[in-house]
Amino acid sequence: MFKAIVIRKEDDHQQVAIESIHEQDLPEGDVTVAVDYSTLNYKDGLAITGKGPVVRIFPMVPGIDLAGTVTSSSHGEFAVGDQVVLNGWGVGETHWGGLAEKARLNGDWLIPLPTAFSTKSAMAIGTAGYTAMLSVMALERHGVTPDQGEVLVTGASGGVGSFAVSLLAKLGYQVTAATGKPHEAEYLTSLGARTIIDRQELTQPGKPLQKERWAGAIDSVGSHTLSNVVASTRYGGTVTCCGLAQGMDLPGTVMPFILRGVTLAGIDSVMQPKAVRMAAWQRLAELLSNDSLEQIATEIPLSQAVGAAERLIDGQIKGRVVVATR
C-alpha cells in the first residue's frame, strides 16, 4: 500500500483526500517509480481545487511532475535503481500523477535525472523551470540577444516567472519584472531583475499598438497582459506565451505582427520530444545552482499539498513549492 492524493467526482461534486492505494491499482505502464518529490504547478492547483477543467478521468492522482527511483522496469532505457524525472505527458490529467509515493508510467515519458541535480532540486525546478527554459530557448532561437535591450517577464514572482527572471539574468539580459506584489521587489531583484513594474500597467485594455519597450518577453499571464506586451514589443522582437493566469483570451489585433514583425511563440511543455526535453534540462543544469534553487523553492509534506494548492490559485505563494511524498 502507498499514500496518494486522490481526486474523485460524484454528481459534479469534486472530493480530494489522501488515500491508501494498493500498488496493483496503479495504471498501466512499463516503469514503476518510487516518488521522492513532486511539486505544485498552476495546473496542479486548478486540478486539486476544481477551478479549471484539468482532470479528464476520475479518480485521478494529480501532479504533473515527479522525480524518483525506478523500482521495476520492462523499458529498454531504464533499469531498477535509475533516477528519473517526468514533466507533462498528460500525467495528473489523464494518467495518475506524481503527488503520491509511487507511480507507474510509460518509460518514453521519462528522462534520466541530470547528475547536477538531486530529486529534490529537480522538483524545485519542475515544469515551471523547465517551461521557463523552453521560453528562453525560444527567445534565443528567434534572435533576441542581451544587447538588444530590456526583456520583460510577466507573473514574475510565480514559478515560471521566478525561473525566467533568474535564467535571463544569468545569460546577461536586462530583465524587467512585472508583478502584482510590490513587497516581492527585493526577491525579484535578488533573482536578477533590474527593473520592477506594477502588473497594473499591463492588465487593462490598451491600444493595439503602443510605444516600443521590450526586445522580447516571457508571458505566463495571457489575456490583456499578453496583448499589451505584444503591442509594446520592439520591431522584430519575440514574445513567448506559456500561461493563462489572467485568462485564456487574447484581445488584441494583428498590428504588432504586420507593422513591427513581432513574433508570438507558443510554448508547450507537455508534449515536447525527448531530445528537446533533455536539451532544456542540460541548459538548466548549466545555469542553475543549488543556492538559487533554495531561494526559489519551499518544501512541504504531502499532507499539506491540498491546502497549498488553494493558496497557489489565490496568488498567495511565491516561487516554487516542492512536495516531499515520503
Give the residue among 318, 280, 284, 275 at the shortest CA–CA distance from 298.
Answer: 318
Sequence ranges of the chain with CATH classification 3.90.180.10: 2-113+291-324
pLDDT at residue 284, rounded to an integer:
97
What angle (nearest 5°) sits at the alpha carbon of residue 47, between those of residues 17 and 30? 85
pLDDT in tens, 77-116: 999 999 999 999 999 999 999 999 999 999 999 999 999 9
pLDDT at residue 135, rounded to an integer:
98
176 φ, ψ (degrees, to nearest 5): -105, 130
pLDDT in tens, 135-185: 999 999 999 999 999 999 999 998 899 999 999 999 999 999 999 988 999
Domain spanning 127-266, CATH architecture: 3-Layer(aba) Sandwich (3.40)
Give the residue among 320, 136, 161 at the shortest CA–CA distance from 240.
Answer: 136
Q: What is the CATH number of domain 2-113+291-324?
A: 3.90.180.10
Q: Based on C-alpha coordinates, what's the Rg of the chain?
A: 20
The whole-angstrom separation of Cα 32 and Cα 73 is 6
Backbone CA torsion sign across 222, 8, 84, 30: negative
Which helix (H) or strand (E) is 137 found in, with range? helix 119-141
Sequence ranges of the chain with CATH classification 3.40.50.720: 127-266
Q: pTM of this prediction?
A: 0.92
β 320-324/31-40 pair status: antiparallel
Instruction: Retrieve residue 82's grid coordinates.
Output: 535509475
Q: Is the peptide bond before 59 cis (omega within 30 degrees of 0)?
A: yes
The whole-angstrom separation of Cα 323 and Cα 40 is 7
Q: Is the peptide bond before 53 cis (omega within 30 degrees of 0)?
A: no
